[in-house]
Amino acid sequence: MTLTHWTPEDLTARVGEVMTVYAEAMGYPVEVARMRQGFVVGHAQFEGMRAVAVTAADDRLLGFGYGYLGKRGQWWHDQVSQWLSPELYDRYMTDVFELVELQVRPDAQGNGIGERMLTELLDDAPGKTVVLSTPEADESASRAWRLYRRTGFQDLVRDALFPGDQRPFAVLGLER
């Protein structure tokens, strides 16, 4: 396995593969994920964008992650901001690296790929805080939850509903 830092051009060049991994990891139909490709391409142009990928020896994409500096006027930033108190907003969302995606193919999970990608993404990332959203799950059974807890992420919002997804999500934050 090889971990690589991706440029915005790398991310957009492999967006089809990225969305396939996204669909598999999130349990979405591939068609739904493909409809969201444009968002990823747009995100690649945001200030502070950083991306990483892990590939197998045959260059098959096993996992990817990316984020950028969050700002008012960005869809996810504005969704989360409405759920936070003014104090939490000031603390977590004014100089924030938004971890948009950290996804590993289900058949590659459990090998430390997610943690390697998270560490690489956050090393030298801009922002004094990191914020992410993840589907609510049994925290003891979910690898993602265990990773986020082990690396210091705290609850900011629980059971949040984003437009277009019926599953509840948690919003987690990390002060650095």
> Which residue type sits at 114?
G
In whole angstroms, give the CA distance from residue 71 to residue 86.
15
Per the residue annotation, which of 22, 68, 92, 148 is the catalytic one?
148
User: Is 89 one of the catalytic residues?
Assistant: no
Residue 117 CA: distances (Å) to CA of 4, 29, 94, 169: 9, 24, 24, 21
Strand partners, 103: 64
- Element (H or E) spanning 97, and its range? strand 96-104
DSSP H stretches of helix in the chain: 8-13, 15-26, 30-35, 37-43, 75-81, 86-92, 113-122, 143-150
Specify whether the CB–CB gap between 148 and 139 falls below 8 A: no
For 102, the token pair is 């950290």
Note the residue count of the chain.
176
Q: Could you give the residue numbers annotated as active site?
A: 148
